[in-house]
Amino acid sequence: MLSEREDNFRGLAVKLFEIGAIKFGDFKMKVGVNSPVYLDLRVIVSFPDVMTTVVNLIDDIIKEHNIQYKHVCGVPYMALPVATLVAMKNKQPMLVRRKEPKSYGTKKIIEGKFNAGEKCLVIEDVTSSGSSILETTRDLRAEGLVVSDAIVMVEREQGAILNSKKNGMNLIPIFTLSHLLKLLQEAEKIDEKIVESVKKFINSCQIHDDGTLVDPSRNFVNELSRTTMSFEARSELAQAPLAKKLFNIMIIKQSNLCVAADLSKADHILNIADICGPYICILKTHCDIIEDFSENFIQSLQMLSKKHNFLIMEDRKFADIGNTVYLQYTQGLYKISKWADIVTVHALPGQSILQGLKTNLDQPEKRGVFLLAEMSSQGNLINEKYKEATIKLATDSNDSDFVAGIVCQTSDCFSFPGLIQLTPGVRIENSHDDLGQQYQSPEDVVKIKGADIGVVGRGIYEAKCIDKACILYRDRLWAAYCDRIESNH
């Protein structure tokens, strides 16, 4: 039988993964190298059950190691709420270290009542080199406090314990990164490839206490880069159920082709869907340009999607406040929520737009959105700040499990492997049209631009032989994906 404490460890590890506190992908570190894992424990403040478990485990460590202390100090900023709860639980006074001293008044850097010679316990969320703990420790010691113990939630095993010991500190983790990975693998949340990739990174990227690499000459290739991973591996990391389903369709059909049926007649769209259905993973529509839209059309389209195993994407590009998009999605002539597996969405209104779309859905796990982070039209007004905010909404919000992917044009737009990149503007012939649309080849869009799915419209539905054109685009897009994966292994 597992002990209660071991159960707490396992439960906490899984919960951290599920709330997005642990991410796998391609993340730039302060030292300048790219890490396959990112720990964002700031999100736990929104989960009281997680905070309670963390505080209880810290209390267990205090008792187990017989740590003696008069004060508790959290490393700013994430560890402050945890340190507050630890202090309250044990009825011990707390100290707050400012990151910068006040430029007025007493100009203190340590806030709180204390006497020189008293012991202070330091709390931190994540450590790599341990430099943040050591900075806090130096400021506390400069005020005459005795600091010899620190507890960290996750220790990344990149030098923090050794660096802390050299500076007279005993660093005790709730989790080491290896322990955390082991528990997640046992819970079948991640596979052996992810574990081994992170271990290689840990071994090759050790850091001094001044934040410099122990061996800067070592060359490390991040095996969890989104564009080098297979769809099979990435499916396991997808937060959105619909993303998992789409990955599975692509794998089974060996197709990463989306056909844009931007046509105004229902029969024409159904004809394209039936001809192209066996070769595509998504059929994209614009329902508001269909002149003879009807319930019969939708029923026929849904039958074809089941017959040929593809998803329906309504390229609605929602961009209004939550209540309005709820009505646009569920009501009116089109009742999009009833039939579209995926809808496209602008991030402009913020998280409320995702909440509005999810409102009152019977089975939200069967629906999903693609957020627009970049556009293919010449002279569009999307800038870097907007793009970054869109990616943050897709990965860090409470509604991340509703976001299946990103519509964008560049491979560096986002790093999370569980999201799918959809890139429009694919055409073998022509580089642009007369209305600002810019085209690119299947190979360029997948290998250079980083697309997982390429969107083809006129290149297929205006072709003399639609089925042959569809097969050609499917084969070239899939071959480009296979080459992308193979060239990195």
The letter for the amino acid at 376 is S
Query: Residue 468: how many CA atoms within 13 Å on its side-chain side?
Result: 3
Cβ 381 vs Cβ 351: under 8 Å: no
The C-alpha atoms of residue 335 and residue 333 are separated, in whole angstroms, by 6
Whether 208 and 129 have beta carbons less than 8 Å apart is answered as yes
* Four-point Cα dihedral 120, 125, 126, 132, nearest 10: -40
105 phi and psi angles, rounded to 5 deg: 60, -130
Contact 239, 434 (CB under 8 A): no
Peptide bond into 77 cis (omega under 30): yes
Burial class of residue 120 (count of CB atoms within 10 Å of its CB; 0-12, 13-18, 19+)? buried
Q: Could you tell me which residues come within 8 angstroms of residue 253 by beta carbon, excluding any fewer than 6 positions away? A: 278, 279, 280, 281, 309, 310
Structure token pair of residue 238: 């997808």
φ, ψ for residue 90 (rounded to 5)? -100, 5
**Dihedral over alpha carbons 12, 18, 24, 26 (to 10 degrees):** -120
Q: Which two tokens stand for residue 140?
A: 């506390």
Tally of CA atoms within 13 A in the half-sphere of 317 that contains its CB = 8
Closest of 47, 53, 48, 71 to residue 5, by C-alpha: 53
User: Is 317 a catalytic site residue?
Assistant: yes
Query: Which of 317, 338, 366, 449 is the catalytic position?
Result: 317
Q: Is 409 helix (H, G, I), strand (E, B) or coil?
A: coil
- List active site positions: 317
